[in-house]
Amino acid sequence: MTGTPLLSVENLAVSMRLPAGGQMQILTDVGFALDAGETLGVVGESGSGKSLLSLAIMGLLPGAATATGRIMFEGRDLLALDDDTLCSVRGKRVGMIFQEPMTALNPAMTVGDQIAEGLVWHEGLSWKVARAQAVELLDQVRIADARRRAQTYPHEMSGGQRQRVGIAMALALKPALMIADEPTTALDVTVQAEVLDILDDLRREYGMALILVSHDLGVIARMCARTVVMYAGRRMEEGPTRDVLTLPLNPYSRGLLRAVPKRRTDGGKLDTIPGSVPGFARLPPGCCFSDRCPERIADCQEAEPAWAIPTAGRGVRCIRAMQEFAR
Amino acid sequence: MIVLLLRRLSSLLLTLLAVSALIFIVMDVLPGDPAAIMLGTSASPDTLAALRHELGLDQPLIIRYALWLGGVVTGDLGNSYTYGVPVAGLIAERLAVTLPLALFAIVLSVAIAIPLGVASAARRNSAVDYAAAFVSQLFIAVPGFWVGLLLVLVFSVSLGWMPSGGFPGWHGGFGSSLGALLLPAIALALPQAGVLTRVTRSAVLEVLNDDFVRTARAKGLPRRAALWRHAVPNALVPVVTILGLQFTFLIAGAVLVENVFNLPGLGRLAFQALTQRDIIVMQDVVLFFAALVIIMNFIVDLSYLYLDPRLRGRSR
């Protein structure tokens, strides 16, 4: 890494105000850095706080959430900016693709106008010019007959097409950073591959950095150079995707990997991680994974393990992993 | 789309036909013989019979209904028993007061309710929201004609700013006519605005949680733009539905408010016709009101197609 990274998340913590009163911390000590053009996968089970992380970077946390720490992006701390200034970053420098293509588009506006809107807003283009650019963008996300399709409404499109519209919207202003939150989870497998291809091609073409949030290790492996594994709002492990997938340090990452379905000839049963992600109110003492961890020792529940860097380019939160590394 | 329109149009006509039959039967059962009322108690049975024959009242119900309906279809609404002039002319003359009054009231009610409802949804549980809730509750609780009396007391009797009633007629100047309609329109609009504010608030609140509003924010739109460009248009279907329903109440309310403000409108015409047993005028005016309401519902249905593109797809 040379100079300052494009995005550097430091010590990010997000807590939610509960309706019954009191606060509940969801994200704890999240941190990573991303250079221009780099790709980072964020992987974890549902409820691990992945989506909240992407919303925090966008500055679109729900009203009940408060974030502390720093999110440095292009030299500014996004957490310290007021909403007006954030509006000039959102959509223009950071684009976001959402999970649900069915609900993420406005049902009462043509897709062309929804894409053009960002251009009108940020660049001050006339609607006529912006609409023409929207057609080009639709073409870039490989929607056939883009000129006609630009005038259709979201309900007239398939899920895959809608998600491509979502990509076109996020791409409109050629942002330096693209955040994709489970972009293909709601899609059929064949459509998934196509949408990922488009996303990857466009990212390369425009040299955009990408944060891809997914529970799907396959998607992450295909798209991202580096990977962060999250659990219960904490990063459990980080490193080059290949290393994390082949030599996982954290027992949680190993569990995730074992739970990926593979072609088997012996009819073996799919491994699972026993139990489910505990609610944030019912985390065990010490390590947040200690109640489900097959490799737990007594020390694991003594204190929360710190984030540690066993070797350059890798990070892990696990005392067992560090012990093993020391040997 | 065309098929849908034709289907709605034919059901509109059928409804009107049913309504006309209902109106005719109700008027027929209504006690009081128009001929007897016109001639007074001292009339001889012969003159009475002659007048009944002249008015066509001695014919069977079904014939009278057919004659009336035939007239209505060809634009001949008959002659008023008391005024002796064509009812169509009477309605047209009175409509020039009631229709502007109703439109004025609708415009006022929308102009109050939409900004207030949207603002209280956008700042839920804030002072604005509580104030809007209080005001709209107040508007709903207080009947329109009473608001009218109050407005007359304050602005006409005490302050002398506004006429207390009456209508100069449109030929007497646009400004003064509109001025004469202002207080009655406010009296009609406030209760409507109260209901509409609440409907708008809850509709916008529901849409604000939708994903596409967050998408709009992710594009870089400020809260305000995301609210007005994305949330509000998607919240309008329930608002327009209520607006259409309110039109019915507006017409019913016009009868009272026109009497309070002494406005020569359709409501007063209907009221006078009722007291004078001018049955033909009653029939025509009530049918006209019914037609207005049914047509309004038709327009509301059409507006759904405009507001929600998804409905257009389904009708194809």
Strand order in the sheet with A23-34: A23-34, A7-17, A65-73, A76-77
B179-225 pLDDT, tens digit per residue, is 888 888 998 999 999 999 999 999 999 999 899 999 999 999 999 99
Q: What is the pLDDT of residue A1?
A: 46
Q: What is the pLDDT of residue A265?
A: 58
A276-326 pLDDT, tens digit per residue, is 777 788 889 989 999 888 888 888 888 899 999 988 889 999 988 888 877
Determine which helix (DSSP H) or strand (DSSP E) holds A26, and give its type and residue range: strand A23-34
Determine which helix (DSSP H) or strand (DSSP E) holds A135, and give its type and residue range: helix A127-140
A201-258 pLDDT, tens digit per residue, is 999 999 999 999 999 899 999 999 999 999 999 999 999 999 999 999 999 999 988 8
Residues 241-280 of B with CB under 8 A from A: none
**Which residues from A are below 8 Å from B217, CB to CB?**
60, 90
Give the mean pLDDT of chain A: 91
B234-292 pLDDT, tens digit per residue, is 999 999 999 988 888 888 788 888 888 888 888 888 888 888 888 888 889 989 988 98
**Token pair for A124:** 């001050």
Confidence class for position A266, pLDDT limits 50, 70, 90: low
Of B173 and A294, the structure prediction assigns the larger pLDDT to A294
Of A75 and B35, the structure prediction assigns the larger pLDDT to A75
Q: Which residue of B has its CA nearest to A83?
A: B222
Global ipTM: 0.89
CB B181 within 8 A of CB B258: no
- Cβ separation A155–B216 shorter than 8 A: no
Beta-bridge mates of residue A48? none
**Which residues from B are below 8 Å from A92, CB to CB?**
220
Q: What is the pLDDT of residue B208?
A: 93
Confidence class for position B316, pLDDT limits 50, 70, 90: very low
CB A96 within 8 A of CB A54: yes
- Rounded to whole angstroms, the Cα distance separating A267 from B191 reads 71
* Chain B CB within 8 Å of residue A87 CB: yes
Determine which helix (DSSP H) or strand (DSSP E) holds B132, and give its type and residue range: helix B127-141
From B299's Cα to the closest Cα of chain A, the distance in A is 19
Q: Which of A50-64, A177-191, A251-265, B69-83 is predicted with the least confidence, judged by mean pLDDT?
A: A251-265
* Chain A CB within 8 Å of residue B217 CB: yes
Three-state secondary-structure class, residue B304: helix
Domains of chain B and CATH, by start: 32-76 (no CATH), 88-315 (1.10.3720.10)
Residues 107-136 of A with CB under 8 A from B: 107-109, 117-118, 121-122
- Mutant choice from A106, A122, A151 vs B, greatest count of B C-beta within 10 A: A106
pLDDT score of A45 more than 50: yes
pLDDT score of B294 more than 50: yes
